Amino acid sequence: MAYENLLYEKRDGIAFVTFNRPKVLNALNRKTMEELQHALLDAQGDEAIRVLIVTGAGEKSFVAGADIGELSQQTPVNGKEFSLFGQSVIHLLETMGKPSICAINGFALGGGCEIAMACTIRMASKTAKLGQPEVKLGIIPGYGGTQRLARLCGKGVAHELCLAGEMIGAEEALRVGLVNHVFEPLDLLPAAETLAKKIVANAPVAVKYTMEAIERGIEMPQEQGLFLEATLFGLACATEDMREGTKAFLEKRKVEFRGR
């Protein structure tokens, strides 16, 4: 697929997905979401890819929200389909079995904030601004914002951000748990790559099962979540990587995981 609105490259086990519409602050339109879906499916199916880094082109914006011109044309029927399609793409990002690091380099508003919340880990530049301003346009978040924000930061934070529609800065986002780390702008991508390489060095199946235990377990009562964890622990014990990891530790040598 020829990408028009994304930059998509792969190196050293990392897939880099960069929203690339800087003239409109990387606003999301249907074409961009279709390209994102294609890139995610490609990364999911590539065994060499172990981690994704998702960011935006330019210095001002990660993703500033939806393309308002396109959004303004939605009807009740089209609007529901518009929302469901976007939700499906973002759900793929969240559940593809490979961790994603969102490097938020500026505005992450509306759909941009929703994409960031679906990533496994969020890192923000000190210049970042995050929010769900949809009520200011007469609509509500449609790509999962009402659901993921409440789960990440609690109902109180979700209500305040979604009802007031105001942006918050990176430090406030860190305080409420919306981002994991805050960096100087020039340090953001290097920090994301450093973390990605740490994840790449670990056993692929163990990383996948750990993510599954957290993502699915958080939606379960604790007793069921613990049972899921024990089941996945047992499956991990059946892998070649488990044998290699424990053997390398005992032999005091460098481990060589193969993802099996």
Q: Phi, psi at residue 81, to the nearest 5°?
A: -65, -40
d(CA 142, CA 159) in angstroms, rounded, equals: 15
d(CA 69, CA 71) in angstroms, rounded, equals: 5
C-alpha pair distances (Å), 34 with each of 3, 41, 85, 181, 256: 10, 11, 9, 29, 36
127: left (phi over 0), alpha (psi -120 to 50) or beta: alpha
DSSP 130: E
CB 84 within 8 A of CB 131: no
Burial of 145 (0-12, 13-18, 19+ CB in 10 A): buried
Q: Which of 135, 133, 99 is nearest to 118 (CA)?
A: 99
d(CA 189, CA 214) in angstroms, rounded, equals: 25
Q: Considering 34, 47, 81, 134, which one is annotated as catalytic?
A: 134
Helix (H) or strand (E) holding 124: strand 121-125
Annotation says 134 is catalytic = yes
Annotation says 34 is catalytic = no
Sheet containing 129-131: order of strands: 61-63, 107-109, 129-131, 168-169
d(CA 121, CA 191) in angstroms, rounded, equals: 12
Position 110, amino acid: G
Q: Considering 114, 160, 219, 223, which one is annotated as catalytic?
A: 114
Position 148, amino acid: R
Which residues are marked as active site? 114, 134
